[in-house]
Chain A
Amino acid sequence: MSQENIKNSSDEPAVKIDYDNVDVARIMDGIKKKIASQAGRESVGPNKPGVPDSGPQPEPRSGIKGILVKIMAPFAPLIKLLVLPVYEEHRQTVMILDHANRRLARAQEYINLTHNLCHNLVVEITKLKIEVDLLETKVQIMEKDFEFLGKRERVLEQEVFK
């Protein structure tokens, strides 16, 4: 059997196609699943490169920098003591920013969902409006038929009881 999975990236569900027996309904199902998963990912939001890390990253030591670090090593506890308040403040700021970013991501997700909801509501309301119009027309036609039948009935009664 000749089959192929067509996809854009590794984390997207593939659209399976059996070329020996192409089934449009199945392909369309695959496409709909793919779109749904894309929408889900978009609403969660990608990992932003600008999100700060929880702490400073160690750098490779080399050359003069390495020598200086060795010379300063005995004073390290004192330096840490002096720098601690600044370091602590920096760490807290990073955490606050991180929390703010998370809140923003959630808000973005919420906005996306609300947007989708509004779109779907508009579609559904439009459908309902059309349905209501049709039903109103039907009712009016039935009322007219009923009225006509009533008149006819009265005329027939008059004829019968003459």
Chain B
Amino acid sequence: MRVAFVVQRYGLEVNGGAEIQCRWTAEHMSKYFEVEVLTTKACDYITWKDHYSVDEELINGIKVRRFPVARTRRPQRFGRIQDRLFRGAHSVSDELRWLEEEGPFSPSLIAFIKTSEAAYDYFVFFSYRYYHSYYGIHSVPRKSILVPTAEQDPIIKFQIFKELFHKPRAIVYDSIEERAMIQAVSGNGAVLSDLIGVGIEIPERYSGEAFRKKYEVGAPYILYLGRIDENKGCPRLFDYFRRYKQETGSEIRLVLAGSTVLDIPAHPDIIYLGFIGDEDKFNAFGGAELLVMPSFLESLSIVTLEAWAAGKPVLANALCGVLKGQCLRSNGGLFYETYPEFRETLTLLLRSPRLRHELGQNGRKYFTANYDWGIVENKYLALLDSLEKEKKT
């Protein structure tokens, strides 16, 4: 069997959630069948400017074919079009213009998918909202599997996407909330689907002590990992954390790691480390009291699963349905909507090491039961198996 994974960006340095999910899944599934990745030459998701020069390369043993982006995204123009679509009446052709503007506009990638349909058994498209998924699925609907990685975003209600969710042979959802949202919007309950998500590789050994020593973090700390961005709820987290420190006089620190598009407030107890590698990431989990996840929009949150894999509890933003649902299902974390809830939940967690331990253990059990790589791989295999059976009948 030969399967193509189609994604907007691909590379070891690309750290978007959907892109990482695609890379990890492609690498794991290459044990069972021939896997290729079809992607663009872009690395930056704001402009989609061509970054990689080679057309073909091997990344961790996976053949990657790259196609140029014919027109980079003009963020201001894109913002104006999107704003107009949200504000008033619009047609399907307006939505298609929005999609082209959003990109990554790579007609050569779509042309390749069309002409190579016979060469692959299945095309797995990641991220429903981009050009490659919409036109790719329309080019090879009978061979396509969609991994939507959808968030509670108003664009999901666009007419073009309602129709798109009916097109693929199968859909792989990341969470119960994502499935419920897509099915409510599009009524695509009849399309074959499964709840799979993504697995996590946990290093055999990681040390909180090593992290504390390397980054000179003495006091206990709570950890935020990921892009430091307004959409991720970081300004609200900074505000809440400063108020918490002022009101309670707690010695807790907030350690941030990841790329940033925001100015991080100057506060002696807010420590920004920049982007850190996998080893440091798990060491950071090892030393942390808990992971704080202030994001409003998530389809899965890999970092939350990583925290649970490391046996750490999570304090999540309850305004994100996926995070709240995951916390309730796993019994692995608390959540907050307002500042008083943030203060009380954080105080409770910091005061009770036993509660942190129990929540962390529950999270680990939830992770092992649902997101262990063995389980994820078997679910993908079962899905492909049922598609094959369907094909034969």
By a beta-carbon cutoff of 8 Å, the part of chain A in contact with chain B is 4, 6, 8, 15, 17, 19, 22-25, 27-28, 31-32, 34-35, 38-39, 133-134, 137-138, 140-141, 144
Q: Report the bound CA distance from A100 to B347 in whole Å.
A: 37
Smallest CB–CB gap between A27 and chain B, Å?
6
Chain A residues near B340 (CB-CB < 8 A):
35, 38-39
Beyond the given pairs A6-B348, A137-B89, A144-B91, 9 more chain A to chain B contacts, judged by CB atoms under 8 angstroms and listed by A's residue number, are A19-B354, A19-B358, A24-B328, A31-B334, A31-B341, A31-B344, A34-B344, A134-B154, A138-B157
Smallest CB–CB gap between A15 and chain B, Å?
6
By a beta-carbon cutoff of 8 Å, the part of chain B in contact with chain A is 86, 89-91, 154, 157, 159, 327-328, 331-335, 340-341, 344-345, 347-348, 351-352, 354-355, 358-359, 362
Chain B residues near A17 (CB-CB < 8 A):
352, 355
Of B159, B335, B355, most A-chain CB atoms within 10 Å: B355
Q: Report the bound CA distance from A38 to B341 in whole Å.
A: 12
Chain A binding surface, main DSSP class: helix
- Determine whether the beta carbon of B91 is less than 8 Å from that of A22: no
Smallest CB–CB gap between A129 and chain B, Å?
12
Task: Select which of A4, A6, A24 is within 8 A of B334 by beta carbon.
Answer: A24
Interchain residue pairs A-B with the least CB separation, the first 9:
A140-B89, A22-B358, A35-B340, A31-B344, A24-B331, A22-B331, A19-B358, A24-B328, A24-B327
Count of A-B contacts judged by CB separation below 8 Å: 55
Chain A residues near B333 (CB-CB < 8 A):
24
Q: Report the bound CA distance from A27 to B186 in whole Å.
A: 35
User: What is the chain A residue whose CB lies nearest that of B359?
Assistant: A22
Q: Report the bound CA distance from A38 to B247 in whole Å.
A: 15
Chain B residues near A32 (CB-CB < 8 A):
341
User: What is the chain A residue whose CB lies nearest that of B345?
Assistant: A31
Smallest CB–CB gap between A104 and chain B, Å?
24
- Determine whether the beta carbon of B358 is less than 8 Å from that of A15: no
Smallest CB–CB gap between A112 and chain B, Å?
13
User: What is the chain B residue whose CB lies nearest that of A144?
Assistant: B91
Q: Report the bound CA distance from A8 to B154 in whole Å.
A: 42
Given A17-B355, A38-B340, A28:B334 Cβ within 8 A: yes
User: What is the chain A residue whose CB lies nearest that of B362?
Assistant: A22
- Determine whether the beta carbon of B157 is less than 8 Å from that of A134: yes
Q: Report the bound CA distance from A17 to B348 in whole Å.
A: 10
Smallest CB–CB gap between B298 and chain A, Å?
18
The 14 sampled A-B contact pairs (Cβ below 8 Å) are: A4-B352, A15-B348, A17-B355, A24-B327, A24-B359, A25-B328, A27-B348, A31-B341, A32-B341, A35-B340, A38-B340, A137-B89, A140-B89, A144-B89
Q: Report the bound CA distance from A6 to B204 in whole Å.
A: 35
Chain B residues near A24 (CB-CB < 8 A):
327-328, 331-334, 359
Task: Select which of A35, A38, A141 is within 8 A of B159 by beta carbon.
Answer: A141
User: What is the chain B residue whose CB lies nearest that of A36?
Assistant: B340
- Determine whether the beta carbon of B355 is less than 8 Å from that of A19: yes
Q: Report the bound CA distance from A76 to B91 in whole Å.
A: 97
Chain B residues near A133 (CB-CB < 8 A):
86
